[in-house]
Amino acid sequence: MLRTLVLLCYNLILPIMLLVMLPGAIKKMRARGGRWRDLWQRLGFFSESARAELDALHRSHAEVIWMHAVSVGEVGIAVKLVHELVRQRPQVGVVITTTTPTGMAQAQKLAAELPGAVIPLYSPLDGWFVVRRCLSVIRPRQIVLVEAEVWPNLVQAASRRGIPVRLVNARLSPRSERRYRQLRTLVQPIFTLLTEVMVQEPEDVERWLSLGLDAKRVVWTGSIKFDEAGDREPVEQMAEFRQIMERAGISPSRPVLLAASTHAGEEEEIARVYLRLRGAHPALFLILVPRHVERAVEIQQRLGSMELKVRRRSLVDREQSIAPDCLLVDTTGELKAWQGLATLVVVGKSFLATGGQNPAEAAMLGKPVLFGPHMENFSALVRVLLMRQGAAQVADFAALQGRLDHLLRHPQEAQIMAQAGRAALRNHEGATARTASRLLRQ
Q: Please state which of the ranges 27-31, 89-93, 326-330 shows the lowest mean pLDDT.
A: 27-31
Instruction: Grade residue 4 by pLDDT with cuts at 50, 70 and 90.
Output: confident
pLDDT of 333 above 70: yes
- pLDDT for residue 150: 86
Q: What are phi and psi of 118, to 5 degrees?
A: -135, 135
User: Percent of the chain scored above 90 by pLDDT?
Assistant: 62
pLDDT at 323: 83
Domains 35-228+429-440 and 235-424 share a fold: yes
Band of residue 82 on the pLDDT scale cut at 50, 70, 90: very high
Q: How many residues does the chain have?
A: 442
| Bridge partner residues of 146 (DSSP) | 168
Query: Which of 48, 53, 63, 74 is the catalytic position?
Result: 74
CATH code of 235-424, in short, is: 3.40.50.2000
Condensed to tens digits (0 to 9), the pLDDT of residues 150-173 reads 889 999 999 999 999 999 999 877
Please give the Cα distance from 189 to 310 (Å, whole number). 52
Phi-psi region of 355 (alpha: psi -120 to 50; beta: other; left: phi over 0): left
Q: How far is CA 371 from the centre of its chain?
A: 18
Say what the pLDDT of residue 7 is: 74
Q: Range with the lowest mean pLDDT among 73-82, 182-191, 214-223?
A: 182-191
pLDDT for position 36: 60
Residue 138 has pLDDT above 70, yes or no: yes
* 3-state SS track over the chain: CHHHHHHHHHHHHHHHHHHHHHHHHHHHHHHCCCCCCHHHHHCCCCCHHHHHHHHHHHHHCCEEEEEECCCHHHHHHHHHHHHHHHHHCCCEEEEEEECCHHHHHHHHHHHHHCCCCEEEEECCCCCHHHHHHHHHHHCCCEEEEECCCCCHHHHHHHHHCCCCEEEEEECCCHHHHHHHHHCHHHHHHHHCCCCEEEECCHHHHHHHHCCCCCHHHEEECCCCCCCCCCCCCCHHHHHHHHHHHHHCCCCCCCCEEEEEEECCCHHHHHHHHHHHHCCCCCCCEEEEEECCHHHHHHHHHHHHCCCCCEEEHHHCCCCCCCCCCEEECCCCCCHHHHHHCCCEEEECCCCCCCCCCCCHHHHHCCCCEEECCCCHHHHHHHHHHHHCCCCEECCCHHHHHHHHHHHHHCHHHHHHHHHHHHHHCHHHCCHHHHHHHHHHCC
Look at residue 417 in the predicted model and tell me its pLDDT: 98
pLDDT averaged over every residue in the chain: 89
Among 196-205, 279-288, 406-415, which stretch is predicted with the lowest mean pLDDT? 196-205
At residue 26, the pLDDT reads 63
What is the pLDDT, as a whole number, of residue 100? Answer: 85
Q: Which of 92-106, 242-256, 257-271, 302-316 has the highest mean pLDDT?
A: 257-271
pLDDT number for residue 113: 95
- Give the Cα separation of 223 and 168 in Å (integer): 9
How confident is the model at residue 19, as a pLDDT? 72
Whether 314 shows a pLDDT value over 70: the answer reads: yes
Give the CATH class of 35-228+429-440: alpha beta
| Predicted pLDDT of residue 51 | 93
pTM, full prediction: 0.71
pLDDT of residue 280: 96
Residue 30's pLDDT band (boundaries 50, 70, 90)? low
Reply yes or no on whether 74 is catalytic. yes
Sign of torsion, CA 56 58 62 66?
positive
> What are the extents of the domains in the chain?
35-228+429-440, 235-424
Give the pLDDT mean for 363-382: 92
355 touches 377 (CB < 8 A): yes
